[in-house]
A and B are shown apart, each in its own frame.
Chain A
Amino acid sequence: MSAFHKMIATVKSALERAPRAVPAHAAAASPVVPVAHDARRTELLAQFARELEAVGGAFLGAFAPDDIRARTVALARQIGARTAAIGAGVTLDSDPIARALEQAGVAVIRPPSVRGAAGPDDAARAAYRERLAGCDLGIVEADAAIAATGTLAVVGAPDRPNSLTLLPPSNLIIIHADRMRPDLAAAVAGIGAETFIAKRVALITGPSRTADIEKMIVLGVHGPKKLYAIAIWPNEA
């Protein structure tokens, strides 16, 4: 064995005995790529918030998944909601939100159980619709959002009916920050043709509005008068 090999072996065993020292600059969690990702996410969210407010909506901010509950309860208190209807989440489990609302004294309307081949019968559907029409706040998670226009794309499903964003006078729409798309084309492509075929999709840009009287803008004609959006900011893995 040459001297060289001997030296390598010594160095190797030395390295194995003591843990590798980490250089100071490598200790920071995120190198270049994740930082850019965060910056992009922030930028899109900021643009979304600006555009949403420009069309009369309100952006409540971005929160960690666990903090969405508290902010939702705070909103319900703020607008004096006594009843709230909630649909199943997309990335988030809506049950904890519903329970938090109930603890705060808000009656929560959940979609009737849709298990079974036939789904809900006419009576169940009519009863649900009646309750929706009388409730104060509809809460639903969007599938995608468009930063350039302040738009939320809500995809209907049996446990996330369309009427949730239509009948209640106020709406809270939750959107995961990673589902923010820069523009319409990207959002439509992201949702995908299959979804458009199988489900109802509504792109929602602000509260319901009209300009039918002398071209003056009035909010809340047939749909919600108030539209709130809240973003989920994911915890870093």
Chain B
Amino acid sequence: MATPDAAPAPDFLETSRKGVADTDLRRKLENSTGRHLDHVAHMRGEFPRYDDERDAARRIKEDAIGRLDELLIILKQKLEANGCNVFVAADAAEARDYILQVAKKAGSQRVVKGKSMTTEEIDLNPALERAGMKVVETDLGEYIVQLRRERPSHIITPAIHLSKEDIGQLFAEQLGIPYSAEPEVLTAAARERLRSIFLGADLGITGVNFAIAETGSLVLIENEGNGRLTSTLPETFIAVMGIEKVIPQLTDLSHFLEILARTGTGQKLTTYTNFISGPRRDGELDGPRAMHVVILDNGRSAMLADPVMREALYCLRCGACLNVCPVYRRIGGHAYNSPYPGPIGSIVSPNLFGSAAAKLPFASTLCGACRDICPVKIDIPRILLHLRWKANVTEPPIKWSADARRARAGVRRFARMARYPRSFRLLSRLGGLMLRPLTRDGYLRRMPGPFKNWTRWGRDFPAPGARRKETRGETVNASATQRPE
């Protein structure tokens, strides 16, 4: 994964090309994301207040992020009053070091983790493993990708790139159970295996969905119950959150919960909404003896300082924008080389991982589907354009491949030409003459040379300078709608 201090990340153009070539992956992604979008459409239809709640949630985030300093002070005070140890980490290394130090001091050996993208972001597991600890991811999807020694490929469905047959194969090999592709059988096998790990664990680590400043409560949302187990059974519990997770008060929460599950998983409410305000109290039979909260900046305050970027901090990590994104659905999450893939990943990653993720904002058609589905209406396309502009003016410049450089130079020349009507007309007439042998009814069915990929899948190109018989909204472009599959 791409952390600032890790080895150079694989190039996005390469990994995305690999994703595009993998038709099997595309089938799996279409399957799962399609099923998710059906659920969401159904839920939205049943909930007429949906759009009002989105506006309400966005307003609360706007307010909270706008006075983040004040809220973080209150949150820290309240958490400490509730008996938590609070650590504020400026970057990934500080967060890792603190967690390692806590784990070592407590003598932890067996670590269980609830789902947490933030701990993926700070690359926590390798650090714990290097220190000799056994780390087990307990969310079913995370458990599956951990067994495969992979990274999650989706924010909320980590194993979305795998079919049930893939997982059956994996469990047969790694867990020694007879092969089955039945989700029930596979889930039961994982439950049994993980239950005994839970009962023996001495350190639990999870992420946080919301932190309520008013009460000093962390809210953890999940369906499986592994987050509850992780925060209840081990003697030490560490919650890791980004600074943007704080909301002012308890009454704000319902606005988020009303929309988060509906967009994220197509549920009205997730199975478990856990409120954790501190370690075990006197007389209680369960809960951790010690609770730590790590509040992480790691590039977020820089996003806060950029007026266009700022609204990216409203993100609830519901994962819906991944499922609607035509790019994500074709290249898959691993191509992004970031724990945050898809549209939201393309705007967040360059801020968190710097130049390693600088190309991601270019991986978008700017179609706007992400903005339309976003529960807090983040204008992702606008931020993408902003980041593209930034990538071109900041140092160090992006290293493009030779192909990409040629294409960019070509487009730049075209842009210069198109700025003057006379040169544009001249150019298109010239081009039209040259391409006439290939033109039929004003369209090119097959483009020559470097442009051949445009028409490769039956997509026509309007021939420059040619006259077409067409009225607005009704094209003669019949073959364009045909897709091979």
Contact = CB atoms under 8 A, between A and B. Distances in A.
A and B associate: yes
Contacts of B285: 111-112, 114, 120, 125, 128-129, 158, 161, 163
Interface string A125-155: 1001100010000000000001011010000
Contact of B272 (A111, A146, A157, A202): A202
A205 B269 CA distance: 7
B250 A188 contact: yes
Most buried by A among B158, B162, B186, B284: B284
Contact of B268 (A51, A128, A161, A221): A51
Contact of B144 (A51, A203, A204, A212): A212
Contact of B183 (A199, A213, A223): A213
A97 to B, nearest CB: 19
Given A111-B285, A112-B285, A197 B187 contact: no
B283 A114 contact: yes
A61 B246 CA distance: 40
A46 interface: no
Contact of B32 (A120, A129, A215, A220): A215
A213 B159 contact: yes
Interface in B39-95: 78, 82
Interface residues of A, number: 57
B330 to A, nearest CB: 18
A8 interface: no
A200 B188 CA distance: 28
A181 to B, nearest CB: 11
Contacts of B216: 197
B287 A200 contact: yes
Given A183-B254, A223-B224, A125 B286 contact: yes
B118 interface: no
B92 to A, nearest CB: 26
Contacts of A92: none
Interface in B5-42: 28, 31-32, 35-36
Given A149-B268, A222-B229, A189 B82 contact: no
B306 interface: no
Contact of A213 (B78, B186, B283): B186
Given A205-B270, A213-B164, A188 B140 contact: no
B215 A196 contact: yes
A112 B439 CA distance: 86
B214 A218 contact: no
Contacts of A221: 140, 187, 190-191, 223-226
Interface in A171-203: 183-185, 188-189, 193, 196-203
Interface residues of B, number: 69
A78 B344 CA distance: 49
A91 to B, nearest CB: 21
A91 B214 CA distance: 28
B363 interface: no
Contact of A215 (B35, B82, B253, B270): B35
Nearest to A165: B228
Contacts of B271: 55, 204-209, 223
A206 B284 CA distance: 25
B282 interface: yes
Contact of B284 (A119, A148, A213): A119
A55 B183 CA distance: 18
Given A114-B283, A149-B269, A158-B283, A212 B159 contact: yes
B232 interface: yes
Interface string B127-159: 000000000001111001000000000000111
A196 B268 contact: no
Contacts of B78: 197
A214 B275 contact: no
A218 B282 CA distance: 37
A79 interface: no
A188 B254 contact: yes
Nearest to A128: B285
Given A162-B287, A197-B82, A221-B140, A208 B223 contact: yes
A210 interface: yes
Contacts of A193: 214-215, 250
B227 to A, nearest CB: 9
Interface string A107-120: 00001101001111
A119 B138 CA distance: 30
Nearest to B32: A215
Interface string A46-67: 0000010001000000000000
B206 interface: no
Nearest to B34: A215
Nearest to A218: B187
Given A203-B269, A222-B229, A214 B164 contact: yes
Most buried by B among A146, A166, A198, A199: A166
B277 A197 contact: yes
B214 A214 contact: no
Given A114-B283, A197-B216, 4 more contacts: A129-B199, A213-B162, A216-B183, A223-B225
- Which 10 residue pairs across A and B have the least CB separation, nearest first? A223-B225, A119-B283, A212-B141, A158-B283, A222-B225, A203-B273, A185-B254, A221-B224, A161-B285, A208-B225
5 contacts: A129-B285, A156-B284, A210-B140, A210-B223, A214-B164
